[in-house]
Structure 1
Protein backbone atom coordinates (compact mmCIF):
# COMPACT_ATOMS: atom_id res chain seq x y z
CA UNK A 1 0.00 0.00 0.00
CA UNK A 2 0.98 3.62 -0.54
CA UNK A 3 1.13 5.08 2.97
CA UNK A 4 1.88 8.25 4.88
CA UNK A 5 2.90 7.62 8.47
CA UNK A 6 2.05 10.19 11.14
CA UNK A 7 3.63 9.89 14.59
CA UNK A 8 5.96 11.60 17.04
CA UNK A 9 7.18 9.78 20.20
CA UNK A 10 8.98 6.49 20.83
CA UNK A 11 5.60 4.71 21.01
CA UNK A 12 5.15 5.30 17.27
CA UNK A 13 8.54 4.09 16.04
CA UNK A 14 7.78 0.33 16.05
CA UNK A 15 4.77 0.92 13.79
CA UNK A 16 6.87 2.84 11.27
CA UNK A 17 9.46 0.06 11.30
CA UNK A 18 6.79 -2.61 10.90
CA UNK A 19 5.23 -0.88 7.89
CA UNK A 20 8.59 -0.66 6.14
CA UNK A 21 9.49 -4.27 7.02
CA UNK A 22 6.14 -5.45 5.64
CA UNK A 23 6.98 -3.93 2.26
CA UNK A 24 4.53 -1.04 2.25
CA UNK A 25 5.48 2.08 0.34
CA UNK A 26 5.86 4.75 3.00
CA UNK A 27 6.07 7.86 0.84
CA UNK A 28 6.12 10.45 3.63
CA UNK A 29 6.35 10.71 7.38
CA UNK A 30 4.63 13.47 9.33
CA UNK A 31 5.90 14.33 12.80
CA UNK A 32 5.70 17.27 15.17
CA UNK A 33 8.42 19.88 14.69
CA UNK A 34 11.75 19.57 16.55
CA UNK A 35 11.58 20.84 20.14
CA UNK A 36 14.25 22.43 22.29
CA UNK A 37 15.52 19.96 24.87
CA UNK A 38 18.49 19.21 27.10
CA UNK A 39 20.69 21.61 29.02
CA UNK A 40 21.74 23.46 25.89
CA UNK A 41 18.12 23.75 24.71
CA UNK A 42 19.15 22.68 21.22
CA UNK A 43 16.46 21.74 18.73
CA UNK A 44 15.90 17.99 18.85
CA UNK A 45 13.89 16.06 16.26
CA UNK A 46 11.26 13.63 17.47
CA UNK A 47 12.07 9.91 17.71
CA UNK A 48 9.89 9.30 14.64
CA UNK A 49 11.67 11.97 12.60
CA UNK A 50 15.05 10.53 13.54
CA UNK A 51 13.98 7.02 12.55
CA UNK A 52 12.37 8.13 9.29
CA UNK A 53 15.49 10.04 8.25
CA UNK A 54 17.60 6.98 9.04
CA UNK A 55 15.32 4.99 6.75
CA UNK A 56 15.63 7.60 4.00
CA UNK A 57 11.97 8.64 4.11
CA UNK A 58 10.93 12.25 3.52
CA UNK A 59 9.77 13.94 6.72
CA UNK A 60 7.28 16.79 7.00
CA UNK A 61 6.87 18.73 10.27
CA UNK A 62 4.05 21.24 9.84
CA UNK A 63 2.86 23.22 12.84
CA UNK A 64 -0.72 22.60 11.77
CA UNK A 65 -2.67 20.71 9.12
CA UNK A 66 -5.45 23.27 8.98
CA UNK A 67 -3.86 25.32 6.18
CA UNK A 68 -5.26 24.71 2.71
CA UNK A 69 -1.73 24.49 1.31
CA UNK A 70 -0.78 21.69 3.73
CA UNK A 71 -4.00 19.85 3.00
CA UNK A 72 -3.40 20.07 -0.75
CA UNK A 73 0.14 18.75 -0.31
CA UNK A 74 -1.20 15.83 1.71
CA UNK A 75 -3.88 15.04 -0.88
CA UNK A 76 -1.25 15.17 -3.64
CA UNK A 77 0.46 12.13 -2.10
CA UNK A 78 -2.36 10.01 -3.55
CA UNK A 79 -2.38 7.68 -0.55
CA UNK A 80 -4.11 4.38 -0.03
CA UNK A 81 -4.09 4.99 3.72
CA UNK A 82 -2.54 7.17 6.41
CA UNK A 83 -1.32 5.35 9.51
CA UNK A 84 -1.33 7.38 12.71
CA UNK A 85 0.32 6.60 16.06
CA UNK A 86 0.51 9.28 18.76
CA UNK A 87 0.99 12.08 16.23
CA UNK A 88 -0.24 14.86 18.49
CA UNK A 89 -1.92 17.11 15.92
CA UNK A 90 -5.63 17.20 15.08
CA UNK A 91 -6.39 15.88 11.61
CA UNK A 92 -8.99 18.08 9.90
CA UNK A 93 -11.69 16.49 7.74
CA UNK A 94 -9.92 17.12 4.37
CA UNK A 95 -6.92 15.18 5.68
CA UNK A 96 -9.07 12.39 7.14
CA UNK A 97 -10.86 11.95 3.83
CA UNK A 98 -7.90 12.24 1.45
CA UNK A 99 -6.53 8.63 1.55
CA UNK A 100 -8.49 5.94 -0.30
CA UNK A 101 -9.02 3.90 2.88
CA UNK A 102 -8.96 6.83 5.26
CA UNK A 103 -6.72 7.21 8.33
CA UNK A 104 -6.11 4.30 10.71
CA UNK A 105 -4.84 4.89 14.24
CA UNK A 106 -2.88 2.75 16.72
CA UNK A 107 -4.59 3.66 20.00
CA UNK A 108 -3.21 2.42 23.33
CA UNK A 109 -6.43 1.37 25.04
CA UNK A 110 -9.43 -0.89 24.68
CA UNK A 111 -11.89 1.60 23.22
CA UNK A 112 -14.25 3.13 24.15
CA UNK A 113 -12.39 3.17 27.49
CA UNK A 114 -9.74 5.87 27.64
CA UNK A 115 -10.28 7.94 24.57
CA UNK A 116 -7.83 10.81 24.48
CA UNK A 117 -4.22 11.79 25.05
CA UNK A 118 -2.94 9.62 27.93
CA UNK A 119 -4.71 6.24 27.89
CA UNK A 120 -1.82 4.21 29.32
CA UNK A 121 -1.23 6.49 32.29
CA UNK A 122 -4.94 6.75 33.05
CA UNK A 123 -5.42 2.98 32.93
CA UNK A 124 -2.70 2.53 35.56
CA UNK A 125 -3.98 5.36 37.76
CA UNK A 126 -7.50 3.93 37.67
CA UNK A 127 -6.30 0.48 38.67
CA UNK A 128 -7.49 -1.20 35.48
CA UNK A 129 -6.60 -4.88 35.48
CA UNK A 130 -6.20 -4.93 31.69
CA UNK A 131 -5.64 -2.56 28.81
CA UNK A 132 -4.62 -3.07 25.21
CA UNK A 133 -4.50 -1.67 21.70
CA UNK A 134 -7.30 -0.80 19.31
CA UNK A 135 -6.76 -0.23 15.59
CA UNK A 136 -9.43 2.32 14.77
CA UNK A 137 -10.61 4.38 11.85
CA UNK A 138 -10.25 8.10 12.49
CA UNK A 139 -13.08 10.58 12.18
CA UNK A 140 -13.78 14.12 13.36
CA UNK A 141 -14.61 13.14 16.96
CA UNK A 142 -11.96 12.39 19.60
CA UNK A 143 -11.17 8.67 19.22
CA UNK A 144 -14.78 7.94 18.31
CA UNK A 145 -14.15 6.08 15.06
CA UNK A 146 -14.93 2.44 14.22
CA UNK A 147 -12.72 -0.38 15.45
CA UNK A 148 -10.92 -2.81 13.15
CA UNK A 149 -9.06 -4.92 15.72
CA UNK A 150 -8.53 -4.87 19.50
CA UNK A 151 -6.31 -6.99 21.71
CA UNK A 152 -5.94 -7.04 25.49
CA UNK A 153 -2.94 -7.29 27.80
CA UNK A 154 -2.84 -7.43 31.63
CA UNK A 155 -1.55 -4.34 33.41
CA UNK A 156 -0.08 -6.65 36.06
CA UNK A 157 1.98 -4.13 38.05
CA UNK A 158 3.77 -2.66 35.03
CA UNK A 159 5.04 0.89 34.84
CA UNK A 160 3.85 3.27 32.15
CA UNK A 161 7.19 2.85 30.42
CA UNK A 162 6.97 -0.93 30.38
CA UNK A 163 3.35 -0.92 29.25
CA UNK A 164 4.01 1.69 26.55
CA UNK A 165 6.78 -0.42 25.04
CA UNK A 166 4.67 -3.58 25.11
CA UNK A 167 1.67 -1.88 23.50
CA UNK A 168 3.85 -0.13 20.92
CA UNK A 169 5.16 -3.41 19.52
CA UNK A 170 1.79 -5.13 19.79
CA UNK A 171 0.07 -2.24 18.02
CA UNK A 172 2.67 -2.26 15.24
CA UNK A 173 2.02 -5.94 14.52
CA UNK A 174 -1.74 -5.39 14.68
CA UNK A 175 -1.60 -2.52 12.18
CA UNK A 176 0.37 -4.63 9.69
CA UNK A 177 -2.13 -7.45 10.17
CA UNK A 178 -5.09 -5.16 9.46
CA UNK A 179 -3.52 -3.51 6.42
CA UNK A 180 -2.66 -6.89 4.95
CA UNK A 181 -6.18 -8.24 5.41
CA UNK A 182 -8.65 -5.36 5.27
CA UNK A 183 -11.37 -7.67 3.99
CA UNK A 184 -11.06 -9.74 7.17
CA UNK A 185 -11.40 -6.76 9.49
CA UNK A 186 -14.62 -4.87 8.76
CA UNK A 187 -14.90 -1.74 10.90
CA UNK A 188 -17.24 -2.07 13.89
CA UNK A 189 -18.79 0.96 15.63
CA UNK A 190 -17.65 1.56 19.18
CA UNK A 191 -20.10 0.70 21.98
CA UNK A 192 -21.98 3.66 23.39
CA UNK A 193 -21.48 2.44 26.96
CA UNK A 194 -18.22 2.53 28.88
CA UNK A 195 -16.77 5.70 27.39
CA UNK A 196 -14.05 7.37 29.50
CA UNK A 197 -11.60 10.14 28.63
CA UNK A 198 -7.86 10.11 29.22
CA UNK A 199 -6.96 13.74 29.77
CA UNK A 200 -3.41 14.90 29.11
CA UNK A 201 -1.13 14.37 32.10
CA UNK A 202 -0.32 17.59 33.95
CA UNK A 203 2.97 17.86 35.83
CA UNK A 204 1.28 18.60 39.17
CA UNK A 205 -0.41 15.18 39.06
CA UNK A 206 2.97 13.51 39.60
CA UNK A 207 3.32 14.99 43.10
CA UNK A 208 2.61 12.16 45.50
CA UNK A 209 -0.44 12.67 47.71
CA UNK A 210 0.07 10.64 50.86
CA UNK A 211 -3.49 11.30 52.06
CA UNK A 212 -4.54 8.76 49.42
CA UNK A 213 -4.40 5.04 50.04
CA UNK A 214 -1.08 3.28 49.60
CA UNK A 215 -2.57 1.42 46.64
CA UNK A 216 -3.37 4.71 44.88
CA UNK A 217 0.06 6.17 45.68
CA UNK A 218 1.79 3.09 44.28
CA UNK A 219 -0.26 3.50 41.10
CA UNK A 220 0.99 7.08 40.85
CA UNK A 221 4.56 5.79 41.06
CA UNK A 222 4.01 3.32 38.21
CA UNK A 223 1.92 5.67 36.08
CA UNK A 224 4.59 8.38 36.07
CA UNK A 225 7.61 6.13 35.54
CA UNK A 226 9.67 7.10 33.59
CA UNK A 227 8.21 10.57 32.99
CA UNK A 228 7.47 12.93 34.52
CA UNK A 229 8.39 10.83 37.59
CA UNK A 230 6.27 10.67 40.74
CA UNK A 231 7.87 12.87 43.39
CA UNK A 232 7.84 14.20 46.93
CA UNK A 233 9.52 17.35 48.22
CA UNK A 234 11.63 17.65 51.36
CA UNK A 235 13.62 20.68 52.50
CA UNK A 236 13.23 22.30 49.10
CA UNK A 237 14.49 19.30 47.14
CA UNK A 238 12.43 17.18 44.81
CA UNK A 239 12.91 13.42 45.15
CA UNK A 240 11.42 11.05 42.59
CA UNK A 241 10.13 7.65 43.60
CA UNK A 242 10.49 5.29 40.64
CA UNK A 243 9.40 2.01 42.26
CA UNK A 244 7.59 1.18 45.49
CA UNK A 245 5.64 -1.54 47.26
CA UNK A 246 2.50 -1.36 49.37
CA UNK A 247 2.91 -2.40 53.02
CA UNK A 248 0.49 -2.84 55.89
CA UNK A 249 2.23 -0.36 58.20
CA UNK A 250 0.19 2.58 59.45
CA UNK A 251 0.77 6.11 60.67
CA UNK A 252 -0.18 9.70 60.05
CA UNK A 253 -0.22 10.29 56.27
CA UNK A 254 3.16 11.46 55.00
CA UNK A 255 5.13 10.27 58.04
CA UNK A 256 8.41 8.41 57.53
CA UNK A 257 7.94 5.23 59.54
CA UNK A 258 11.35 3.54 59.47
CA UNK A 259 14.92 3.74 58.26
CA UNK A 260 13.95 2.12 54.94
CA UNK A 261 11.98 5.28 54.05
CA UNK A 262 8.58 3.62 54.38
CA UNK A 263 5.96 6.39 54.19
CA UNK A 264 2.50 6.24 55.75
CA UNK A 265 -0.46 6.92 53.49
CA UNK A 266 -4.17 7.49 54.05
CA UNK A 267 -4.40 3.74 54.54
CA UNK A 268 -1.36 1.48 54.56
CA UNK A 269 2.08 2.68 53.53
CA UNK A 270 4.51 2.54 50.65
CA UNK A 271 8.08 1.31 50.80
CA UNK A 272 10.15 2.93 48.03
CA UNK A 273 12.55 0.63 46.17
CA UNK A 274 14.18 3.10 43.74
CA UNK A 275 14.53 6.85 44.21
CA UNK A 276 16.30 9.73 42.50
CA UNK A 277 17.45 13.15 43.66
CA UNK A 278 17.52 15.98 41.14
CA UNK A 279 20.56 15.67 38.90
CA UNK A 280 21.64 12.37 40.49
CA UNK A 281 21.58 8.73 39.42
CA UNK A 282 18.82 6.35 40.43
CA UNK A 283 19.56 4.82 43.85
CA UNK A 284 18.08 2.75 46.65
CA UNK A 285 16.48 4.43 49.68
CA UNK A 286 19.41 3.38 51.88
CA UNK A 287 21.83 5.07 49.46
CA UNK A 288 19.69 8.20 49.49
CA UNK A 289 19.53 8.36 53.28
CA UNK A 290 23.30 8.10 53.63
CA UNK A 291 23.66 11.48 51.98
CA UNK A 292 20.31 13.15 52.64
CA UNK A 293 18.80 13.17 56.11
CA UNK A 294 15.14 12.14 56.37
CA UNK A 295 14.78 10.90 59.96
CA UNK A 296 12.08 8.54 61.18
CA UNK A 297 9.08 10.61 62.24
CA UNK A 298 9.62 13.31 59.57
CA UNK A 299 6.28 14.49 58.21
CA UNK A 300 6.29 15.10 54.46
CA UNK A 301 3.94 17.82 53.25
Structure 2
Protein backbone atom coordinates (compact mmCIF):
# COMPACT_ATOMS: atom_id res chain seq x y z
CA UNK A 1 0.00 0.00 0.00
CA UNK A 2 1.36 3.42 -0.96
CA UNK A 3 2.30 6.07 1.57
CA UNK A 4 1.27 9.70 1.14
CA UNK A 5 2.28 12.83 3.04
CA UNK A 6 0.44 16.13 3.54
CA UNK A 7 2.56 19.04 4.79
CA UNK A 8 0.55 22.06 5.92
CA UNK A 9 0.41 24.61 8.74
CA UNK A 10 -3.13 26.00 8.47
CA UNK A 11 -5.91 24.81 10.76
CA UNK A 12 -8.42 24.57 7.92
CA UNK A 13 -6.16 22.19 5.98
CA UNK A 14 -5.43 20.10 9.07
CA UNK A 15 -9.20 19.81 9.65
CA UNK A 16 -9.71 18.69 6.04
CA UNK A 17 -6.87 16.17 6.37
CA UNK A 18 -8.44 14.63 9.48
CA UNK A 19 -11.88 14.58 7.89
CA UNK A 20 -11.01 13.34 4.42
CA UNK A 21 -7.91 11.15 4.34
CA UNK A 22 -9.32 8.21 6.38
CA UNK A 23 -11.47 7.44 3.32
CA UNK A 24 -8.62 7.81 0.81
CA UNK A 25 -6.52 4.98 -0.58
CA UNK A 26 -3.13 4.35 1.04
CA UNK A 27 -1.42 5.25 4.31
CA UNK A 28 -1.47 8.93 5.17
CA UNK A 29 0.96 11.01 7.23
CA UNK A 30 0.59 14.63 8.35
CA UNK A 31 3.48 17.09 8.81
CA UNK A 32 2.76 20.45 10.45
CA UNK A 33 6.25 21.49 11.57
CA UNK A 34 9.13 22.26 9.22
CA UNK A 35 11.47 20.37 11.59
CA UNK A 36 9.62 17.18 10.61
CA UNK A 37 10.11 17.78 6.90
CA UNK A 38 13.49 16.08 6.58
CA UNK A 39 14.91 13.92 3.84
CA UNK A 40 15.68 11.09 6.26
CA UNK A 41 12.12 11.01 7.61
CA UNK A 42 10.61 11.09 4.13
CA UNK A 43 13.03 8.48 2.82
CA UNK A 44 11.83 6.17 5.59
CA UNK A 45 8.18 6.78 4.61
CA UNK A 46 8.95 6.60 0.86
CA UNK A 47 5.72 8.46 -0.11
CA UNK A 48 4.32 8.27 -3.61
CA UNK A 49 3.34 11.94 -3.33
CA UNK A 50 3.98 14.73 -0.86
CA UNK A 51 1.21 17.35 -0.96
CA UNK A 52 1.88 20.91 0.19
CA UNK A 53 -1.36 22.87 0.71
CA UNK A 54 -0.34 26.26 2.12
CA UNK A 55 3.23 25.56 3.25
CA UNK A 56 5.17 28.69 4.27
CA UNK A 57 8.79 27.57 4.00
CA UNK A 58 11.18 26.76 1.17
CA UNK A 59 11.27 22.99 0.61
CA UNK A 60 14.87 21.68 0.49
CA UNK A 61 16.14 20.78 -2.98
CA UNK A 62 17.01 17.29 -1.77
CA UNK A 63 13.32 16.65 -1.11
CA UNK A 64 12.08 18.29 -4.32
CA UNK A 65 14.52 16.28 -6.42
CA UNK A 66 13.80 12.90 -4.83
CA UNK A 67 10.04 12.88 -4.28
CA UNK A 68 6.87 13.79 -6.19
CA UNK A 69 6.11 17.07 -4.44
CA UNK A 70 2.77 18.68 -5.31
CA UNK A 71 1.90 22.23 -4.33
CA UNK A 72 -1.27 24.27 -4.87
CA UNK A 73 -1.46 27.82 -6.17
CA UNK A 74 -4.58 29.97 -6.29
CA UNK A 75 -4.13 31.24 -9.86
CA UNK A 76 -4.46 29.95 -13.42
CA UNK A 77 -0.72 29.43 -13.85
CA UNK A 78 1.46 30.78 -15.38
CA UNK A 79 -0.70 33.83 -14.65
CA UNK A 80 -0.08 35.03 -11.10
CA UNK A 81 3.12 33.26 -10.13
CA UNK A 82 4.44 34.49 -6.80
CA UNK A 83 3.14 35.58 -3.42
CA UNK A 84 -0.24 36.60 -2.00
CA UNK A 85 -2.22 35.30 -4.98
CA UNK A 86 -5.69 35.76 -3.49
CA UNK A 87 -5.09 39.35 -2.37
CA UNK A 88 -3.45 40.27 -5.66
CA UNK A 89 -6.31 38.74 -7.66
CA UNK A 90 -8.98 40.57 -5.67
CA UNK A 91 -7.04 43.85 -5.90
CA UNK A 92 -7.06 43.44 -9.67
CA UNK A 93 -10.82 42.93 -9.75
CA UNK A 94 -10.99 39.16 -10.26
CA UNK A 95 -14.07 37.39 -8.89
CA UNK A 96 -13.03 33.86 -9.89
CA UNK A 97 -9.76 32.04 -10.38
CA UNK A 98 -8.43 28.53 -10.78
CA UNK A 99 -6.62 26.42 -8.22
CA UNK A 100 -3.57 24.88 -9.88
CA UNK A 101 -1.97 21.67 -8.61
CA UNK A 102 1.60 21.59 -9.87
CA UNK A 103 4.75 19.55 -9.52
CA UNK A 104 7.13 21.46 -7.31
CA UNK A 105 10.41 22.67 -8.77
CA UNK A 106 13.29 24.66 -7.30
CA UNK A 107 11.91 27.82 -8.95
CA UNK A 108 8.69 29.14 -7.45
CA UNK A 109 5.42 28.21 -9.23
CA UNK A 110 7.12 27.14 -12.48
CA UNK A 111 6.44 23.39 -12.42
CA UNK A 112 4.19 21.43 -14.77
CA UNK A 113 0.50 21.12 -13.97
CA UNK A 114 -1.36 18.05 -12.70
CA UNK A 115 -4.80 19.66 -12.88
CA UNK A 116 -6.72 22.89 -12.38
CA UNK A 117 -10.14 23.52 -10.89
CA UNK A 118 -12.31 26.70 -10.79
CA UNK A 119 -12.48 28.61 -7.49
CA UNK A 120 -14.74 31.50 -6.48
CA UNK A 121 -13.21 34.58 -4.84
CA UNK A 122 -16.45 35.68 -3.21
CA UNK A 123 -16.61 36.28 0.53
CA UNK A 124 -13.96 36.96 3.15
CA UNK A 125 -10.43 35.64 2.93
CA UNK A 126 -11.34 33.09 5.61
CA UNK A 127 -14.30 31.85 3.56
CA UNK A 128 -12.13 31.64 0.44
CA UNK A 129 -9.42 29.70 2.27
CA UNK A 130 -11.99 27.23 3.62
CA UNK A 131 -13.46 26.78 0.13
CA UNK A 132 -9.98 26.38 -1.31
CA UNK A 133 -9.06 23.81 1.33
CA UNK A 134 -12.04 21.59 0.48
CA UNK A 135 -11.22 21.87 -3.22
CA UNK A 136 -7.55 21.07 -2.53
CA UNK A 137 -8.44 17.78 -0.89
CA UNK A 138 -10.79 16.94 -3.77
CA UNK A 139 -7.80 17.44 -6.06
CA UNK A 140 -5.53 15.39 -3.81
CA UNK A 141 -8.00 12.51 -3.96
CA UNK A 142 -8.14 12.80 -7.76
CA UNK A 143 -4.35 12.72 -8.07
CA UNK A 144 -4.06 9.69 -5.78
CA UNK A 145 -6.77 7.79 -7.65
CA UNK A 146 -5.97 8.78 -11.23
CA UNK A 147 -2.20 9.46 -11.23
CA UNK A 148 -2.55 12.16 -13.92
CA UNK A 149 0.35 13.09 -16.17
CA UNK A 150 1.74 16.58 -15.79
CA UNK A 151 1.64 19.11 -18.63
CA UNK A 152 3.92 22.16 -19.02
CA UNK A 153 2.55 25.57 -18.16
CA UNK A 154 1.45 27.46 -21.26
CA UNK A 155 0.86 31.12 -21.96
CA UNK A 156 2.37 34.45 -20.90
CA UNK A 157 3.86 34.66 -17.42
CA UNK A 158 2.47 37.22 -14.99
CA UNK A 159 4.26 37.55 -11.65
CA UNK A 160 2.78 38.70 -8.34
CA UNK A 161 4.72 40.19 -5.45
CA UNK A 162 4.14 39.04 -1.88
CA UNK A 163 2.26 41.63 0.12
CA UNK A 164 3.63 42.98 3.39
CA UNK A 165 1.69 44.14 6.49
CA UNK A 166 2.19 47.83 5.64
CA UNK A 167 -0.02 47.29 2.59
CA UNK A 168 -2.95 46.48 4.87
CA UNK A 169 -3.63 50.19 5.46
CA UNK A 170 -6.84 51.37 3.79
CA UNK A 171 -6.50 54.04 1.13
CA UNK A 172 -9.41 56.31 2.00
CA UNK A 173 -9.36 57.73 -1.53
CA UNK A 174 -10.75 54.44 -2.84
CA UNK A 175 -14.44 53.97 -3.55
CA UNK A 176 -16.59 51.83 -1.25
CA UNK A 177 -16.38 48.74 -3.45
CA UNK A 178 -12.57 48.83 -3.41
CA UNK A 179 -12.49 49.40 0.35
CA UNK A 180 -14.90 46.49 0.84
CA UNK A 181 -12.63 44.24 -1.23
CA UNK A 182 -9.58 45.44 0.69
CA UNK A 183 -11.18 44.57 4.03
CA UNK A 184 -12.51 41.14 3.00
CA UNK A 185 -9.32 40.00 1.27
CA UNK A 186 -7.42 40.40 4.57
CA UNK A 187 -10.16 39.03 6.82
CA UNK A 188 -8.75 35.62 7.81
CA UNK A 189 -7.22 34.02 10.88
CA UNK A 190 -3.55 34.95 11.41
CA UNK A 191 -3.58 37.58 8.64
CA UNK A 192 -2.91 41.31 9.24
CA UNK A 193 -6.28 43.02 9.03
CA UNK A 194 -7.19 46.07 6.97
CA UNK A 195 -6.74 49.18 9.10
CA UNK A 196 -6.74 52.97 9.31
CA UNK A 197 -4.39 54.94 11.54
CA UNK A 198 -6.21 57.70 13.41
CA UNK A 199 -4.02 59.71 15.73
CA UNK A 200 -2.39 57.31 18.17
CA UNK A 201 -4.92 54.58 17.42
CA UNK A 202 -5.13 51.74 14.94
CA UNK A 203 -8.63 50.87 13.70
CA UNK A 204 -8.82 47.33 12.27
CA UNK A 205 -11.80 46.33 10.13
CA UNK A 206 -13.41 42.88 9.75
CA UNK A 207 -16.76 41.32 8.75
CA UNK A 208 -17.52 43.99 6.16
CA UNK A 209 -20.88 44.11 4.41
CA UNK A 210 -22.35 46.47 1.81
CA UNK A 211 -25.93 47.65 1.65
CA UNK A 212 -27.73 50.68 0.18
CA UNK A 213 -24.52 52.48 -0.71
CA UNK A 214 -23.00 52.05 2.75
CA UNK A 215 -20.33 49.79 4.18
CA UNK A 216 -20.66 48.28 7.66
CA UNK A 217 -17.85 46.49 9.50
CA UNK A 218 -16.61 45.48 12.92
CA UNK A 219 -13.86 47.75 14.24
CA UNK A 220 -11.11 46.87 16.71
CA UNK A 221 -9.36 49.92 18.21
CA UNK A 222 -5.88 49.61 19.70
CA UNK A 223 -2.91 51.84 20.36
CA UNK A 224 -0.72 52.04 17.26
CA UNK A 225 2.62 50.39 17.87
TM-score range, shorter chain: 0.7 to 0.9
1:246 deviates by 8.2
Matched, 1:121 2:122: no
**Deviations 1:131-161, CA, capped at 9 Å, x for gaps:** 13111111111011111111113324x2211
Q: Cα 1:241–1:235, aligned 2, differ >3 Å: closer, same or farther?
A: same
Bigger RCO (CA 8 Å, 6+ sep): 2
1-structure distance, mates of 2:197, 2:211: 20
Check if 1:160 corresponds to 2:133. Answer: no
What is the rounded CA distance, in whole Å, between the counterparts of 1:111 and 1:238 in structure 2? 37
Q: How does the TM-score come out when normalised to structure 1?
A: 0.65
Structure 2 matches for 1:136-285, cutoff 5 A?
136-156=102-122, 158-182=123-147, 185-199=148-162, 201-226=163-188, 227-242=191-206, 243-245=208-210, 271-278=214-221
Q: Does 1:85 align with 2:87?
A: no
The change in CA–CA distance for 1:217 and 1:246 in structure 2 (over 3 A counts) is farther
Hey, what does 2:27 align to over in structure 1?
Answer: 25
- The 1:246–1:238 alpha-carbon spacing in structure 2 relative to 1, beyond 3 Å, is farther
Mapped partners of 2:88, 2:211: distance in 1: 20
Aligned to 1:8: 9
Is this contact kept in 1: 2:96–2:121, CA < 8 A? yes
Deviation at 1:244, TM superposition (A): 4.4
Runs of 4+ in 1 over 6 A off after TM superposition: none
Confirm or deny: 8 A CA contact 2:53 2:136 kept in the other structure: no
8 Å Cα contact 2:169/2:196 also seen in 1: yes
Q: When the two structures are aligned, how many residues end up with a matched partner? A: 217
More strand as a share of residues = 2
Gap runs ≥5 in structure 1: 33-60, 249-270, 280-301
Kindly name which structure, 1 or 2, has the bigger radius of gyration based on alpha carbons: 1
| TM-score after normalising by structure 2 | 0.85
Mean CA deviation greater in 80-89 or 114-123: 114-123
Which segments of 5 or more consecutive residues in structure 2 lack a partner in the other structure?
Answer: none
Alignment RMSD? 2.4
